[in-house]
Amino acid sequence: MSVFINTLLLSFCLFTSGVISASEKAIDKHEGIEIVVNINKADIEELDTLLIGVGESKAQAIIDYRNENGKFTTINELANVKGIGEKLIEKNKNRIKL
């Protein structure tokens, strides 16, 4: 019985190391992709998924602000949105497009 368990554990370790290695390669393969979000056109899902630190409620706040005040003219105008601060803007400045 212990031989069976040892064999099973060894097989599991060998299998998972290959999976981990493959997933690391997949991540490296996509490093060069540039993520850009047009905050004047993006929907809630795009804002939530593509911007760092933005969840559904902040994404909805961005859309509500945009609907009430018109298109954003500068990236820093995002600071007028409830829940969006300078740090969040700084984290996403390379991802945001007007």
Return averaged pLDDT per consecutive 10 residues of the chain, 98 residues in all.
Answer: 61 54 44 88 96 96 98 97 96 94
Quote the CA–CA distance of 48 and 4 in Å, as a whole number.
47
CB 51 within 8 A of CB 95: yes
pLDDT of residue 13: 57
CATH at 58: 1.10.150.280
For residues 49 and 85, state if they share a domain. yes
| pTM beyond 0.75, yes or no | no
Q: By C-alpha distance, which of 39, 35, 36 is closest to 72?
A: 39
pLDDT of res. 8 = 56
pLDDT score for 33 = 82
Angstrom distance (rounded) from CA 96 to CA 75? 7
Enclosing domain of residue 83: 37-97
